[in-house]
Amino acid sequence: MAEIISLANRVTRIAPSPTLAVNAKAKALKAAGADILNFSVGEPDFDTPEHICAAGKKAIDDGHTRYTAVPGIQELREAVVYRLKEDHGRHYTPEQIQVSCGGKHGLYNIFQALLDQGDEVLIPAPYWVSYPPMVQLAGGVPVAVPLAEQDNFDLDPDILERCATDRTRAIIINNPANPTGSLFSRRALEAIGKMALERGWLVVTDDIYETITYPDEKPPHILDVDARLQDQTVILNGVSKSFAMTGWRIGYSAGPQHIIKAMNKIQSQSTSNPCAPAQYAALAALTGPQGFPAVMKQAFLPRREFFVADLTAIEGVTCVKPNGAFYVFPNFSAYYGKSFNGKKINDSVAMADYFLDEAKVASVPGAAFGADDFVRFSFATSMEVIREGMIRIKKALAALG
Ligand code: PMP
Ligand code: GLU
């Protein structure tokens, strides 16, 4: 069909989410009968716990099927306040909480509320694929702050200083991080906190993987660096990862009231409110037993051990051991420049394509995360799949010449 109607510049400047695109491709190939092992998308391979599903079903039976308050039902916002106090000793009021359609939409709301044309946001790289496009969609400019593999992807304050300008409005922290699984050190957070206080930046701390850390330590947090930072920090979190609720689409933000109010204005004109029954399910998640992330971690831990050990045993491959989340992010750059059947592999996109075509292994190229030397594999999949995947990956790498 002829494309008569042109599209907005803002759309043509961004790409569709690569994590979701690879996942869709892997699922389609599998549905067509291909023997694909899917390491692409980051979602727990667990079902939502029964008591949470029951609360969602009950909400429908009880007639919670209409619009709710724009920032989410009062009980859920109170439950978020309770968790922040109980788990972290932080003090918020329900007016400082917004419930959104997933954490992703919470981030979208934050940048829509904060940024004017040309405002810069510092994004430590490797970063989660959606941060830069969300900043761009709000008219902002994403500025990558490079993190080094040899520093375990911790942030170097001198590099941060060099990336900051007088157009900087915000910085994103993702602790533990997607795709590296790394944690920022206390030293890095202190440097960020100091600069944020001096220069009036908003700190966006994406804590979505906070319950999934190895070992069990709580990740260091920006709000523990200096209490004053609470006035210029928005915490982003949600139930997708902690309670295996990716499809329910419930996230939440906690921050200064005027920012949350602005985000509510945007939400009122876009999604109105997150899905009502899903909010009741999330309420059961936050107020019920909190042991579920530990159950998932029990399964993730041996997978992490095996994956990292097997990858780093391959000649030329390095892989930082993740301290959290459920991804490994090996560096395959030693294999760039090699060929298979006359086709050269020069970057992470070609490497991930090669894994998919020749090894039937779906992964996400590091370029999507701003780090072309790497490829991301999610280990939120069974040990058998990981074992078989590693056999195929090793065979594919050995076939390159
Ligand atoms: N932040 C990070 C770093 C993520 O990996 C994800 C996963 N999609 C999200 C936020 C948002 O998750 P959701 O929208 O499912 O809450
Ligand atoms: N955050 C997950 C991932 O990185 C889910 C997909 C997405 O929203 O990007 O794979």
Left if phi > 0, otherwise alpha if psi is -120 to 50, otherwise beta: which for 152? left
For the CA atoms of the chain, what is the radius of gyration? 21
CB of 149 sitting under 6 A from ligand 1: no
Check whether 290 has a pLDDT greater than 80.
yes
CB of 178 sitting under 6 A from ligand 1: yes
Task: Assess contact for 110 and 253: CB atoms under 8 A.
Answer: yes
How far is Cα 30 from Cα 37, in angstroms, rounded to an integer? 9
Q: pLDDT tens for residues 199-220? A: 999 999 999 999 999 987 788 9
CB of 318 sitting under 6 A from ligand 2: no
How many angstroms is it from 4 CA to the middle of ligand 1?
Answer: 35
How many angstroms is it from 210 CA to the middle of ligand 1?
Answer: 12
Same domain, 159 and 187: yes
How far is Cα 238 from Cα 211, in angstroms, rounded to an integer? 11
Left if phi > 0, otherwise alpha if psi is -120 to 50, otherwise beta: which for 253? beta
- 18 preceded by a cis bond (ω within 30 of 0): no
| pLDDT score, position 159 | 98
Minimal-distance CA residue to ligand 1 atom 8: 104
Q: Relative to the CA of 250, which ligand 1 atom is closest?
A: 16
Minimal-distance CA residue to ligand 2 atom 4: 42
C-alpha dihedral sign at 273, 278, 282, 288? positive
**C-alpha dist (Å) from residue 135 to 67, 112, 192, 291:** 29, 8, 19, 35
Q: Relative to the CA of 364, which ligand 2 atom is closest?
A: 10
Same domain, 88 and 234: yes
Check whether 18 has a pLDDT greater than 90.
no
Choice among 21-35, 348-362, 386-400 with the minimum mean pLDDT? 21-35
Same domain, 281 and 323: no
Question: Per the domain annotation, does 102 fall within a domain?
Answer: yes
Q: How many CB atoms lie within 10 A of CB 347?
A: 17
- Residue 163 amino acid letter: C
How far is Cα 67 from Cα 378, in angstroms, rounded to an integer? 36
Same domain, 263 and 340: no
Q: Which residue has the higher pLDDT, 282 or 26?
A: 282
How far is Cα 383 from Cα 380, in angstroms, rounded to an integer? 9
Query: Band of the pLDDT at 37, cuts 50, 70, 90?
Result: very high
Best residue among 123, 241, 252, 326 to mutate for probing ligand 1, ranked by most atoms within 8 Å of CB: 241
Question: Per the domain annotation, does 357 fall within a domain?
Answer: yes
| pLDDT score, position 123 | 98
How far is Cα 304 from Cα 182, in angstroms, rounded to an integer? 13
Q: Whole-model pTM?
A: 0.97
Check whether 140 has a pLDDT greater than 90.
yes
| pLDDT score, position 1 | 83
Percentage of the chain modeled with pLDDT above 90: 94
CB of 128 sitting under 6 A from ligand 1: yes
Domain housing 369: 9-47+292-398
Same domain, 263 and 296: no
CB of 20 sitting under 6 A from ligand 2: yes
Q: What is the mean pLDDT of residues 73-102?
A: 98
Same domain, 20 and 75: no
Check whether 66 has a pLDDT greater than 80.
yes
Same domain, 270 and 312: no
What is the greatest pairwise CA distance in the chain?
Answer: 63
CB of 129 sitting under 6 A from ligand 2: yes
Query: Band of the pLDDT at 261, cuts 50, 70, 90?
Result: very high
Check whether 252 has a pLDDT greater than 90.
yes
Minimal-distance CA residue to ligand 2 atom 2: 42
Same domain, 318 and 387: yes
Check whether 296 has a pLDDT greater than 90.
yes
Q: What is the mean pLDDT of residues 291-320?
A: 97
| pLDDT score, position 210 | 96
Same domain, 201 and 342: no
Q: Relative to the CA of 40, which ligand 2 atom is closest?
A: 10
**Ranges 7-21, 23-37, 210-224, 264-278, most confident:** 264-278
| pLDDT score, position 228 | 97
CB of 251 sitting under 6 A from ligand 1: yes
Per the structure, the count of domains in the chain is 2
How many angstroms is it from 297 CA to the middle of ligand 2?
Answer: 18
Q: pLDDT tens for residues 342-387? A: 999 999 999 999 999 999 999 999 999 999 999 999 999 999 999 9
Q: What is the mean pLDDT of residues 140-157?
A: 98
Domain stops at, among 265, 287, 309: 287
Check whether 231 has a pLDDT greater than 90.
yes
Q: Relative to the CA of 129, which ligand 2 atom is closest?
A: 9
Give me the CATH number covering residue 69.
3.40.640.10
On average, the pLDDT of the chain sits at 96
Q: What is the mean pLDDT of residues 143-164?
A: 98
How many angstroms is it from 178 CA to the middle of ligand 1?
Answer: 9
Question: Per the domain annotation, does 24 fall within a domain?
Answer: yes
CB of 271 sitting under 6 A from ligand 1: no
Question: Per the domain annotation, does 211 fall within a domain?
Answer: yes
